[in-house]
A and B are shown apart, each in its own frame.
Chain A
Amino acid sequence: MLGVFIAIVLLCLAAPLYAHDVAHTHPFVSTPDGTTIVNGKRVPVMPPSTTGLGLGSTPIGPTWDVHHYFLGADNLGRDVAARLLYGGRNSLLIGFLAGLITCIAGTIIGVAAGFFGGVTDGVISRVLEIIWAFPVYLFAICLSIVLINQDFVLGPLRIGSGSLALPIVIIGVVYIPYVARPVRGETLSLRRREFVEASIGLGASRTRLLRKDILPNVATTVIVLFPLVMAIAMLTEAALSFLNIGVQPPNASWGTIIQDGTSALLYTQPTVALAPGIAIAVTVLALNVLGDGIRDALDPRAKVRRRG
């Protein structure tokens, strides 16, 4: 499965290569009047409909020829295969960075709560408890709808409304309790272990305790969690984009392509929705298997909540 995952990542990274040098299409510019070559004949990308009332036009289906509209066109005449690869870059990037934010922030917060205890722990635990009880998707929807279509300005910080940074930060933030809670528990139990007490007895400073004793041991837990967090981050990105509050057009992600494919083309050009869905499912499956594998290898006891 790791091989499959690496193959998907490499393919998506090679998206510009494919779009410019193989397919010669632009993934973000609509070409409703474009033409392509099927079986040696030049055909329009958006031929007129033959079914129903015969009005409007239906994008062509897959040509199964990597040089021209391998997976057909979407309702703006864009090459689905090229968009799939470009969208994959965004989906993977968002999943990866959001997972990174979740893991780093979750570790810092969890270690702080577990290590310092007292009031710090009380406050952090309460806040985590609230976010934990708040259904993640609803939380993400709230944040997205407020931030997504108006430029976010906070002092010198300015994030454009179409920026990928918004879904990354939003998804990264909402999953923090998923990492912070297990890390806090881990830190609490580490504090009572003999080797930590030995360090304290030898007069180690707090910084040294954190750096040499706590963090290296907590790292195992976080490394096990990372692929699983990235998996749920990618699913969340897809869901938000499907609801039009994730990645904004003309930019694409697997979620937005599914949205394109299900809103108008589900029955006429099913590959538009099918392809990105399979891509997400395979990538997330690979990440889940990878996560299980790392967990079995590093720490058989760790448990994580996973959800669809």
Chain B
Amino acid sequence: MWRFVLKRMASALFVMFSISVLVFLIFFATPGTDPAVRVLGGKNVSPQTVREVRHDYGLDRPLPVQYALMMKKLFITRNLQSFVSRSQVVPQIVAAAPVTFSLVLGASVLWILFAIGLGMLAAVFRGTALDVMVMVIGLIGISMPVFWLGAEVNNVSQHLYHHSFLFSWVPPPGYVPLTQSPLGWFKSLLLPWLTLSVLYIGLYARVLRSSLVEAQEEDYVRTARAKGLTERRVLLRHSLRTSLIAFVSLFGLDFGALVGGGALLVEVVFNLHGLGWLTYTSLGQFDLPVIMATVIYAAFFVVVVNAAVDLLYALLDPRVRHV
């Protein structure tokens, strides 16, 4: 097990390093683009000013030195400055992280609980209308653009039916910190959570259903039945446990898409000032250091979570450890 843990961590570190190099190269070494001109808004400026800006940000140094400086500013001294507002980037990220974290965590919990529930229902009642419905919901879920769904949810809950009993509790879009008011936090995030998780619930229910159905045919399930265990116990203790392995590993894969894509778009639509929102506002201003910092931090987070999921996977399934 320890060998596996060490190997997995080494590979995660390698991927993190490569991603940081890749992002850095995209932003500061793409041929035909000049970050210094970007800083000045692309206007016609004297070569003198461009040179000064370049020197200020260390853009006149060789690339490896630039990279090392950038990483030092990002992770060690944490004083990377925004091109636009000249404010420090890392404190903004630290302030934004709880928002994104709340959003992603809540959505994941809803996503997993509902998917397991629906998947088990579909497996138990397979071949019925319920089963078909779960499949259709799954297909529709992955076909909708999440930001559009969020905007329509806003339209319904903030405008069209805001005064009906259904949505009168919905606060205006925005984040309420957990420490300030737990109930407000929950209210402000419930609709974003649902929006984000709806996309995946059906798909995951389908995945779980098919592996449950497969597991029902396995020998050990037949043995369990032959021992006289109740059908419920067979389902929960035998089939579900094995089926969860595939479920967990797939979750690890999609978690990255959730943090990098879905959460970003949902934050923009629901006006939650998290990492995604920070990225979005910086996109509008071409604030490269902020975008780079948010992207690298988010990507690192995803890599770490993926590694954690793999370790969990190895814990669930001993066969994986011997790769």
Contact = CB atoms under 8 A, between A and B. Distances in A.
B311 to A, nearest CB: 15
B22 A288 contact: no
Contacts of B31: 153-154
Interface string B106-147: 000000000000000000000000000000000111111111
A130 B261 contact: no
B15 A135 contact: no
A127 to B, nearest CB: 8
B142 A288 contact: yes
Contacts of B152: 273-274, 277
Contacts of A135: 256-257, 259-261, 298-299, 302
A308 B200 contact: yes
Interface string B225-268: 00000000000000000000000001001101101111011001
A136 interface: yes
B74 interface: no
A243 B278 CA distance: 12
A295 B269 CA distance: 35
Nearest to A270: B155
Interface residue tally on B, bucketed by range: 35 or more
Interface residue tally on A, bucketed by range: 35 or more
Interface in A239-287: 239, 242-245, 255, 258, 261-262, 266-267, 270, 273-274, 276-277, 280-282, 284-285
Main SS class of interface, A:
helix
Interface stretch (B83-91, B94-102, B178-186, B283-291): B283-291
A35 to B, nearest CB: 28
A55 interface: no
Given A142-B291, A146-B30, A239-B146, 15 more contacts: A133-B19, A133-B306, A135-B299, A137-B260, A137-B261, A138-B299, A141-B279, A146-B33, A147-B30, A239-B261, A262-B269, A273-B155, A276-B148, A285-B143, A308-B144
Interface of A: 129-130, 133-138, 141-143, 145-147, 149-154, 231, 235, 238-239, 242-245, 255, 258, 261-262, 266-267, 270, 273-274, 276-277, 280-282, 284-285, 288-289, 292, 305-308
5 contacts: A136-B260, A138-B299, A258-B147, A262-B269, A281-B140
